[in-house]
Amino acid sequence: MEWNNLNDLKQLEKIDEESNSGKVLILKHSTRCSISNTALNRLERAWKKEDGTKIKPYLLDLLNHRDVSNAIATRYNIEHQSPQILVIEKGKCIFTQTHSEIRLEEILQS
């Protein structure tokens, strides 16, 4: 799985633009949390190369980029969680999961 790093507030505008032509996945990940590490590993194991044509994945290290995490919560009107995935389409969050709920098959079906 080839993650795009999300580490700058300006990237949220780019993500919104990209979401006009295809779905975008954001994973808010805490590098110090075992549940977050499990969710990340589960996603990476389930990911197939062709999934990259269905959804573009971004990874946010929220401990190093808390400002971006806070902006995501405000921009997409969601409560902050960690780990948390968001699926963005046409500039709106259309699907979110947290903690052990995170499943790639459900993300791809959103």
**pLDDT tens over the chain, length 110 residues:** 899 999 999 999 999 999 999 999 999 999 999 999 999 999 999 999 999 999 999 999 999 999 999 999 999 999 888 899 999 999 999 999 998 899 999 999 98
All residues at 6 or more sequence positions from 109 whose CB lies less than 8 Å from its CB, including other chains: none
| pLDDT at residue 10 in the model | 96
Please give the model's pTM, rounded to 2 decimal places: 0.93
Q: Where are the domains of the chain?
A: 4-109
How far is CA 38 from each of CA 32, 45, 51, 76, rounded to the nearest angstrom?
Answer: 11, 11, 20, 25
Q: Which CATH number fits domain 4-109: 3.40.30.10, 3.90.1150.10, 3.80.10.10, 3.30.2230.10?
A: 3.40.30.10
Report the chain's terminal Cα–Cα distance, integer Å. 19
